[in-house]
Amino acid sequence: MSSIIGYYSTPFGELWDKSLDDLFLEAATGIMNDLQIEMKQIDAIFFGNMLGGVVEKQLLLSAHLSELLDVNIPIYRTEAACASGGMAFHTAHEYLKSNPNKTVLVLGAEKMTDITASEITEALATAASHKEQSVGLTFPGVYALMAQVYLNKYGYNEEHLAAISVKNHAHGVLNDKAHFRRYVTIDNVLESPYVAYPLKVLDSSPISDGATALVMTNDSQMVQNRKSVTVLSSETATDTISIAKRKRLDEVESTKVAGNNAFLKAKINRTDIDVMEVHDCFSIAEILALEDLGFWKKGQGGRLAQEMVTHRDSGNNTIVNTSGGLKAAGHPVGSTGIKQIGEVYLQLTRQAQERQVKNASYGLAHNVGGSGGVAVVSILGI
C-alpha cells in the first residue's frame, strides 16, 4: 500500500504578488525542505491544474514544470475541472500500486485572480456542457438548479443551506492558510446578495490562488521515522457533463459510485470515519455529498445541516471540513483536491493544531469536477 509522508500548503487567497510558477515552486520546495529530501529522490510527479491552458495560455505544463524544477523524470498533468487535484492524487496512487519502491510528488496549483470575475467565470464554465454554456448557464446556475430541486422536494429553505457556510467559516477561523478567517452568522448569509437563486455570495466558495503538495511512497525506508498515513483506497467515477442528461438533480451519481467503491476497497464502514473533507463549492454541494456518500439518509441533509451535527464542537463522531472547506479555506481549483487529502493527513497525524479532532483514525476526502461530471473519493487510515 502507498503512504503519505508529508504535506505542504501555501496560503490560499488573492495572492497578487505570486505567479502560477511561484506557487508551484513554493509548494514543491516547501515540502522537500520539510521532509529534508531532495528532488533526485522523487521518481515521478503528478500535478493537478485546470486553467493553465485558458488563463495562463500555457499547455504542455508537464514540460514547463520540468523546466521549473530542473528534472527529467516522468511528469503527469491531470485536468478534471475542480477535481484536478483529487485526480492527480488518484493517478499517483494507481502508479504506486504498479511500481514498487517508488516515491512521488503530488502537486496542485491554480492562479485565478489575475483576470476579471467575468473572465474566470467563463473559464470555469468550460467544464460544463458546451450546449449549456451557449445558453449562459454557469456553475452557480447549475448548483442553483440543484438547490431549487432539493429544497422544493424535501421542504427546506435558504436557512438550511446557510448553516453549511456558518459551520465551515467557524472551522476556517482556525486554519492559518485559509482564504477567509472570519465567523459568519445565518443572518449574514441570508443578507448577502444572490448569485443565482437560492444561492447567495456567502453560499459560494471564493475565487482563490494557492498551491499544495503531498509526498507519497511505497518505499518502506522513506516511511521510517516519518509521520505517515496509509491510503486505503482512492476511487473515481464519472457521469454526464450535461445536467440535462442526469437521472436526478438532487444527487450526484459519480459521488455515489466512487464512494461505494472506495468503502469496498478500504474494507471499513462509514461509522469508522472520523474526519471528512467534502466538496462544498456551494452550500448545497455539501448537503448532497453527505447524502450521496451514505452518511445521511436521502432528504435528511437539510435538517442535519441546520443542526450542525458535523461541527467540530458538536460532540458527534464524524466532523466535516475542518479546514473550512472550499467555502472558507478557498478554492484554487487545481489545488483543492490535494488540500482535502492534506487536511485529512494533518488530522490523522495529529498535526492540525487548534482544529485537531481527537482520536481521529480514519478520514475521507471527496473532490468533484464539473458539478458531478467526475468525482474522486479517497480514504486514509493510520
What residues contact residue 265 under an 8 Å CB cut-off, 6+ apart? 232, 233, 235, 379
What residues contact residue 358 under an 8 Å CB cut-off, 6+ apart? none
State the alpha helices, DSSP H only, in 106-247: 117-124, 130-134, 139-154, 158-172, 186-191, 220-223
Residue 171 bears catalytic tag: no
In order of 206, 251, 294, 373, the CA distances from 261 in angstroms are 31, 17, 12, 17
Residue 281 bears catalytic tag: no
Q: Cell 479517497: give the residue.
A: 378
Long-range contacts of 307-310 (CB under 8 A, 24+ apart): 307/163, 308/163, 308/166, 308/167, 310/167, 310/276
In order of 23, 205, 234, the CA distances from 364 in angstroms are 26, 20, 10
307, HSE (Cβ side, Cα atoms, 13 Å):
10
Q: Which of 82, 90, 179, 366 is catalytic?
A: 82
Residues paired with residue 376 on neighbouring β-strands, in sequence order: 236, 367
Alpha-carbon distance of 326 to 237, in angstroms, equals: 21
157, HSE (Cβ side, Cα atoms, 13 Å):
4
Contact at 8 Å (CB) between 340 and 92? no
Alpha-carbon distance of 170 to 314, in angstroms, equals: 12
Alpha-carbon distance of 71 to 42, in angstroms, equals: 10
Enter the DSSP assignment of 357: P
Contact at 8 Å (CB) between 84 and 337? yes
Q: Which of 93, 311, 331, 366 is catalytic?
A: 331
Helix axes 283-292, 139-154, angle to 10 degrees: 60
Alpha-carbon distance of 34 to 8, in angstroms, equals: 8
Give the residue numbers annotated as catalytic, written as ranges: 82, 331
